[in-house]
Amino acid sequence: MASRRVEENRVAFQRYKEDVKRDGKPFYPYAMFHDTVMSLVVVCVIVGLAFVWHYTSLLGPSLAAKADPGTVSFVPRPDWYFYFLFYLLRIFKWPNSVILGTVGIPTILLILALAIPFIDLRRERRLLRRPIAIVAAVLVALSMGVLTYKGATAKEALGAELLADVPNWVKSEQLPPQALPGAKLFATSGCLNCHTYQGVGGSQLGAPNLSAEGSKNKGITFQIAHLKCPSCVNKGSPMPSFAAFGNANLRKLAIFLEASKGPH
């Protein structure tokens, strides 16, 4: 037995069919004209993008270097429409939540999308009378937009990428020349995987910003001792030991840290 809602739906659709039969326009040429214009726009955009790709560098290179499965310097990124997923994976940075980002959330989203017509059973189609739908749509669009943007601009604290920032540090921190070797070492040694410096780096494990470390005037000897064994100097520090660098390298790092008096 059909419920009242089903009956009403059927009546409304019957009315729709009669309205269309009486007052509708033939698909060809009325609607098809619009479709054709739109398709022309689409094709022009595609060809235009191909031209821009070929003749300018706005859309990136047409081919990266040949695949090297043994690389130790490449920074992998997906195509732009997977940036949202890429960034989702970076958000779930606790090992036991990995599965949420990789399969959990995408699967839930897919099931939700499939279920929409079976959740929203009302006949109402006017937007202003579907507040939940509006809110959901805005939230989804917003979060996809933000995730895609964050994914597109995500930068890794990697030596190769950070070395390019050293000249900027020299300028804004007014580093003396003898701090330069230490700055390069600092950029390439993974310090910025946890710390931040001049707006780059990936605050992990609660590591502090080191842009103004030198203004605390702790001294070269302290810095070297700390780098050798962080938890001996600061009890409970999660920072790993950098003793493997050897004294000469540690001294370079210490000079750089003490010279970093904060941006001028």
Q: Which of residues 63-82 bind other proteins (CB under 8 A)?
A: 63-82
- What is the size of the binding site for other proteins (CB under 8 A)? 111
- Residue closer to other proteins, measured from CB, 71 or 168: 71
- Least separation, in Å, of the C-beta of 213 and other proteins? 17
DSSP string, 80-149: GGGHHHHHHHHH--SGGGHHIIIIIHHHHHHHHHHHHHHH-------GGG-HHHHHHHHHHHHHHHHHHH
Contacting residue, 3, 4, 58, 118, with other proteins by CB under 8 A: 118
- Least separation, in Å, of the C-beta of 88 and other proteins? 10
- Least separation, in Å, of the C-beta of 31 and other proteins? 5
**Cα 140 off chain centre by:** 16
Q: Cα dihedral angle (39, 45, 47, 48), rounded to 10 degrees?
A: 160
Contacting residue, 2, 4, 105, 126, with other proteins by CB under 8 A: 126
Give the bridge partners for 197, in sequence order: 200
Separation CA 254–CA 36 (nearest Å):
67
- Residue closer to other proteins, measured from CB, 60 or 217: 60
| H/E element, 9 | helix 4-23
- Residue closer to other proteins, measured from CB, 130 or 218: 130
Return the residues of window 211-240 that contact other proteins according to CB under 8 A.
Answer: 238, 240
- Least separation, in Å, of the C-beta of 177 and other proteins? 20
| Stretch of 172-180, 198-206, 208-216, 254-262 contacting other proteins, by CB under 8 A | 198-206
Return the residues of window 12-71 that contact other proteins according to CB under 8 A.
Answer: 12-13, 15-28, 30-32, 34-35, 37-39, 41-43, 45-47, 49-51, 53-54, 59, 62-71
User: In the stretch 135-154, what mask flags binding to other proteins with x, by CB under 8 A?
Assistant: --x---x-------------
140-169 as b/e, with b when 16 or more CB fall inside 10 Å?
A: eeeeeeebbebbeeeebbbbeebeebbeeb
Which burial class, exposed, middle or buried, applies to 237 when counting CB atoms under 10 A from its CB (0-12, 13-18, 19+)?
middle
Tokens found for residue 150: 């964050």
- Least separation, in Å, of the C-beta of 68 and other proteins? 6
- Residue closer to other proteins, measured from CB, 70 or 264: 70
